[in-house]
């Protein structure tokens, strides 16, 4: 049997992976703790390690995994900014799930937007107390508004389709524009200037880190609504807070947070929140924060499990996988192998 050590495992991970393993090919070891230099010892004896967005796979962790004879790291997510991809080359195969459910994330982004601008969360709280006043609940139509979409991968494209269904005008930016599409691509400068709503669907890279900062906020429309269901560090949180206080930003809908790794996915309701910035954000009446749940649908969990197990089988059986990450691949550099040959 293939032995897989799971880190940062939640109940829904355990249930979905056990259900996906219909032929009982895998022996699972589930750990609640995240993978880092202090916990990597738990992986010893495994054939593969499976991790999520807040595990820290740096040089030391990679060296430790290799010393245990582990040559495969399986990400059960699309993002990979928490893995030192270049250092892993020729040491550790890294595979991911590039598209578990673009609908789940895109639909959650729209749900956050609608909840915010139509004050649904405030109405829910009021009516629970039998307060049926409409004072302070005035929203605005999405029809006719301009939405700027940063990143037009699978999630971004689905979000664009949803926005078009609401009669919105769509402007988009992507470093690698989709070929043969009807998406209107413009410069970031034009998006900052024209968008009433901004939604982020791009990966976190050195180039996109803090793409929303004091300077870019100053170039946005007054009252702009920001939606981030991608990675927290796309937004400079201090600049976001200042923009909200100065009434430049009309609302923020966040499913991710720059310093979420020690906070999200845990019940902290009985504790004082040490992160003052997050506490201030949550206290703002025009900010909605969900705890990285945009991906969390039954369909997405099933796709994550199926794809992850398939990725593990492919690497261990053939040494190659269409979902392998390598710093030589397009997006990092140029590689003619295109996943048809072994990366190393």
Listed residue (191, 195, 249, 254) closest to 223, CA to CA: 249
Spell out the domain ranges in the chain.
2-100+297-325, 102-289
User: Is 231 a catalytic site residue?
Assistant: yes
Q: For the structural domain made of 2-100+297-325, what CATH number should be given?
A: 3.40.50.720
Rg (CA), the chain: 21
Instruction: State the average pLDDT over residues 69-81.
Output: 94
Whether 130 shows a pLDDT value over 60: the answer reads yes
**Which listed residue (93, 108, 231, 324) is catalytic?**
231
Q: How confident is residue 339, by pLDDT bands cut at 50, 70 and 90? A: low
pLDDT at 11 exceeding the cut of 90: yes
CA distance 212 to 227: 11
Do the two domains 2-100+297-325 and 102-289 of this chain adopt the same fold? yes
Q: Say if residues 13 and 76 touch (Cβ distance below 8 Å).
A: yes
The pLDDT of residue 253 is 98
Would you give the distance in Å from CA 320 to the centre of its chain? 25
The overall average pLDDT reported for the chain is 94
Instruction: Report the largest interatomic distance among the alpha carbons of the chain, rounded to a whole angstrom.
Output: 65
Q: What confidence score (pLDDT) does residue 331 get?
A: 52
For residue 333, pLDDT over 50 is answered with no
Q: Is 223 left (phi over 0), alpha (psi -120 to 50) or beta?
A: left
Q: Active-site residue 292, yes or no? A: yes
Q: Would the pTM of this model clear 0.95, i.e. be above it?
A: no
User: Exactly one of 292, 313, 324, 328 is catalytic; which is it?
Assistant: 292
**CA atoms within 13 Å, Cβ hemisphere of 313:** 11
Tell me whether residue 238 is one of the annotated catalytic residues: no
Percent of the chain exceeding pLDDT 90 equals 86
pLDDT at residue 337 in the model: 57
183: nearest Cα among 170, 165, 164: 170
Residue ranges of alpha helices (H) inside the chain are 11-20, 59-67, 85-88, 102-117, 120-128, 154-165, 188-194, 214-218, 237-245, 276-283, 298-318
The pLDDT tens digits for 299-329 are 999 999 999 999 999 999 999 899 998 876 6
Long-range contacts: 187-192, Cβ < 8 Å, 24+? 188/150, 188/216, 189/219, 191/148, 191/150, 192/148, 192/216, 192/219, 192/220
pLDDT of residue 270: 87
Catalytic residue among 108, 201, 260, 324: 260
Q: What is the DSSP string of 193-233?
A: HH-SEEEE-----TTTTTSB-HHHHHTSPTTEEEEE-S-GG
pLDDT interval class at 159 (50, 70, 90): very high
User: The domain 102-289 is classified under which CATH number: 3.30.70.1560, 3.40.50.10800, 3.40.50.720, 3.30.930.10?
Assistant: 3.40.50.720
In which residue are the tokens 């997510």 written? 77
* Burial zone of 29 (CB within 10 Å; 0-12 exposed, 13-18 middle, 19+ buried): middle
177-216 pLDDT per residue, tens: 999 899 999 999 999 999 999 999 999 999 999 999 999 9
Q: Are strands 93-95 and 72-75 parallel, antiparallel or unpaired?
A: parallel
Given pLDDT bands bounded at 50, 70 and 90, which one contains residue 280? very high
Q: What is the mean pLDDT of residues 62-82?
A: 95
**Segment 237-274, tens digit of pLDDT:** 999 999 999 999 999 999 999 999 888 988 888 888 98
């Amino acid at each position: 049997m293939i032995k897989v050590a799971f880190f940062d495992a939640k109940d829904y991970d355990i249930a979905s992976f056990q259900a996906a393993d219909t032929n009982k090919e895998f022996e699972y070891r589930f750990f609640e703790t995240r993978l880092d230099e202090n916990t990597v010892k738990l992986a010893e004896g495994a054939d593969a390690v499976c991790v999520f967005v807040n595990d820290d796979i740096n040089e030391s962790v990679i060296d430790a995994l290799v010393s245990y004879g582990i040559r495969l790291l399986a990400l059960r997510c699309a993002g990979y900014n928490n893995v030192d991809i270049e250092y892993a080359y020729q040491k550790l195969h890294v595979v991911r799930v590039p598209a578990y459910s673009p609908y789940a994330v895109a639909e959650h982004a729209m749900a956050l937007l609608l909840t915010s601008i139509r004050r649904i969360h405030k109405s829910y709280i009021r009516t629970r107390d039998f307060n049926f006043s409409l004072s302070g609940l005035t929203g605005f139509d999405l029809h006719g508004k301009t939405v700027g979409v940063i990143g037009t991968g699978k999630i971004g494209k689905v979000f664009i389709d949803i926005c078009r269904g609401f009669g919105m005008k769509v402007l988009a930016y992507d470093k690698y524009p989709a070929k043969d599409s009807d998406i209107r691509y413009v410069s970031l400068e034009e998006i900052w200037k024209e968008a009433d709503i901004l939604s982020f669907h791009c990966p976190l890279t050195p180039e996109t880190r803090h793409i929303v900062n004091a300077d870019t906020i100053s170039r946005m429309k007054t009252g702009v609504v920001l939606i981030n269901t991608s990675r927290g560090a796309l937004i400079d949180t201090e600049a976001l807070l200042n923009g909200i206080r100065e009434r430049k930003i009309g609302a923020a809908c966040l499913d991710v947070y720059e310093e979420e790794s020690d906070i999200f996915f845990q019940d902290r309701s009985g504790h004082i929140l040490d992160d003052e910035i997050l506490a201030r954000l949550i206290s703002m009446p025009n900010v909605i924060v969900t705890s990285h749940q945009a991906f969390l649908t039954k369909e997405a969990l099933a796709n994550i499990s199926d794809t992850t197990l398939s990725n593990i089988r492919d690497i261990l059986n053939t040494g190659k996988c269409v979902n392998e990450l390598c710093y030589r691949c397009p997006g990092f550099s140029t590689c003619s192998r295109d996943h048809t040959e072994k990366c190393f």
